[in-house]
Structure 1
Amino acid sequence: MNSKMLVFSNAVAGQDDAFNDWYDNTHLADVAEVPGVVRGERYEIVPSALGGGGEPAHRYLAVYELSGDPEDVAKAFGAKAATGEIKLSPTLDMSTLSVQIWRARDTGSSAD
């Protein structure tokens, strides 16, 4: 099953350097150790002249590739967070955090 966990986030005001240091050097590896997480990559918004909507709600995005049942991965992530194996940084703005798991659509085969 092909699925991705998308994590949209922001740093607490004035804490971008410390936030990125924690995310890049600690958190990304901690999440990658969750059973069912294959790997993760981070992105930052690119200011664009494409227009539409003004300032984006999030500056940072992490995309994690998952294997197996996404519900099992979510439970494993929650368990590691509950035990403190995954620690969150005070530089993470929890009020804007958005996490979703997306699954590839099965469009079937139309080959005749």
Structure 2
Amino acid sequence: MPKGILVVQTRPVSAEREDEYNKWYSEEHVPDILKIPGFVGARRYRVRDTADVTADPGTLEYITIYEIEADDLATPLQDLRASSNAGRVRRSSSLQTDPPPIRTFYELID
């Protein structure tokens, strides 16, 4: 079965709403997406600067990596759009939308 990942880069609308953003993302948003057939897992990460690696200015602080498995990898992505448009994937005003989140899809090559 083909596999892929959807990488979504986001950030909260403000530092004051970061706790609200993380609670919504982890307790509502990710579970809503994992209800969509083909989405089989998700992990969230936050940028961390180190002595050897620092993030570029403007980097969105959070990423979520969604694991996808489906006979046709386009189907879960289409279902995600339909679920979002129908309100089955809950949104929050704590998510920054200007600029919008960055979404990138990758297909496993081997």
TM-score, L = length of structure 2: 0.88
Find out whether 1:89 has 2:66 as its counterpart.
no
5+ residue gaps, structure 1:
107-112
- TM superposition outliers: structure 1 runs of 4+ over 6 Å: none
- Worse overlay, 21-30 or 87-96: 87-96
Task: State the shift of 1:51 in Å.
Answer: 4.2
SS at match of 1:20: helix
Task: State the shift of 1:96 in Å.
Answer: 3.8
Task: Write the letter of the residue equivalent to 1:88.
Answer: R
Task: Write the letter of the residue equivalent to 2:75.
Answer: D
TM-score, L = length of structure 1: 0.86
Task: State the shift of 1:102 in Å.
Answer: 0.4
SS at match of 2:93: coil
SS at match of 1:102: strand
Larger radius of gyration: 1
Aligned length: 106
Find out whether 1:50 has 2:80 as its counterpart.
no
Q: Matched residues, percent identical? A: 22
Q: Which residue of 1 aligns with 2:25?
A: 23
What CA RMSD, in Å, does the superposition of the two structures yield over aligned residues?
Answer: 1.5
Q: Which residue of 2 aligns with 1:5?
A: 6
SS at match of 1:77: helix
CA distance in 1, matches of 2:92, 2:51: 32
5+ residue gaps, structure 2:
none
Q: Indicate conservation of the 8 Å contact 2:45/2:63, yes or no.
A: yes
Q: Which residue of 2 aligns with 1:78?
A: 81
Task: Write the letter of the residue equivalent to 2:106.
Answer: W
CA distance in 1, matches of 2:89, 2:45: 20
Deviation digits for residues 18-65 of structure 1 (CA, Å, limit 9, x no counterpart):
100100111110011111100111111112222466435110010111
